[in-house]
Amino acid sequence: MALVNTRKMFEMAYKNGYAVGAFNVNNMEITQGIIEAVAEEKAPLILQVSRGAREYAKNSYLRAIIDVVVKENPEIPVAINLDHGDTFETCRQFVDDGFTSVMIDASSKPLEENIALTKEVVEYAHARDVVVEAELGQLGGIEEDVVGVSDDDISKHLADPNQVEEFVRKSGVDSLAVAIGTSHGAYKFKKEPKLAFDVLQEIADRLPGFPLVMHGSSSVLKEFVDLINKYGGDMPNAMGVPEDSVAKASKMAICKVNIDTDLRLALTAKIRQVFCEKPGEFDPRKYLGPARAKVKELVRHKVHDVLCCAGHAFD
Ligand SMILES: [Zn+2]
């Protein structure tokens, strides 16, 4: 199976009660860690590229890495998604570059504008067999240049179930990221968050069979934060979405779960550990190698224990 869009993936995820992991790609080691994990777990995969990643690594390099992933793992269905496209022009570029999915995030705009911009992207993308994700409601936290609402306001900016049917009908969008209390980054919350499962269920009831997406879903695992702090880091009060909440949402209408921060934490924790335990080490392979292995371990855990999409690559 070559590069695919997410249509069939989401259909199967919805039907079988699991979610596909959408992991952000920033460099070779992270990408290798991800693909080795899903290949062993036989899980479907969505690789995502943000504008920031593209600026950091250059699109041609990221695309080359992704192309190798697809070529060397012909049995694994892989979709590539633009994460948080902000304009029609950005989305158009990624569609033209061969991405199989794009997200247009106009969630900070009034509903009518969000619908109109999403519809414009949908028309361009669908003509090229590319699917589109949009967003309703506003998330908390900060993800690169995407600034969300503050911690105290998260519950006031949830997706409004009254808007979802109109949004989907008028825009023609293929999947919808809904704000249900998650947040971007490593400092998501001041206290243990409670996701709005009642809102999620109401949206799901109004859109039967329609795939929903969860952003800001890293769990900021204590294991990694503790390692980072133990080996000279300084990340007090880092907090994410508990994995049992992500698992619960994955069994509901959430078909795609975005994970970026947890990858960064795993990579950084291992690099810090190597630097502290072997201060004479200067060969990048000797710290990036173990860091890549840590990313792989994390992704295996996510797809197997949290998203429950392991073994579903051939659905
Ligand atoms: Zn996001």
- How far, in Å, from the CA of 4 to the mean position of ligand 1? 21
Clarify whether 260 is annotated catalytic. no
Residues 67, 83, 226, 262: which is the catalytic one?
83
**pLDDT more than 70, % of the chain:** 95
Is residue 187 scored above 70 in pLDDT?
Answer: yes
Q: How confident is the model at residue 152 (pLDDT cuts 50, 70, 90)?
A: low
Give the pLDDT of residue 157. Answer: 81
User: CA-CA distance, 169 to 179, in Å (whole number)?
Assistant: 19
Give the pLDDT of residue 189. Answer: 79
Q: How confident is the model at residue 51 (pLDDT cuts 50, 70, 90)?
A: confident
Is residue 80 scored above 90 in pLDDT?
Answer: yes
Element holding 183 (H helix, E strand): strand 183-184
- How far, in Å, from the CA of 107 to the mean position of ligand 1? 11
Please compute, for residue 296, the number of CA atoms within 13 A of its CA located in the half-sphere on the CB side. 16
- How far, in Å, from the CA of 295 to the mean position of ligand 1? 20
Give the pLDDT of residue 151. Answer: 62
Give the pLDDT of residue 192. Answer: 77
Tens of pLDDT, residues 102-134:
999 999 999 999 999 999 999 999 999 999 999
- How far, in Å, from the CA of 50 to the mean position of ligand 1? 9
Q: How confident is the model at residue 284 (pLDDT cuts 50, 70, 90)?
A: very high
Residue 57, by phi and psi: left (phi above 0), alpha (psi -120 to 50) or beta?
alpha
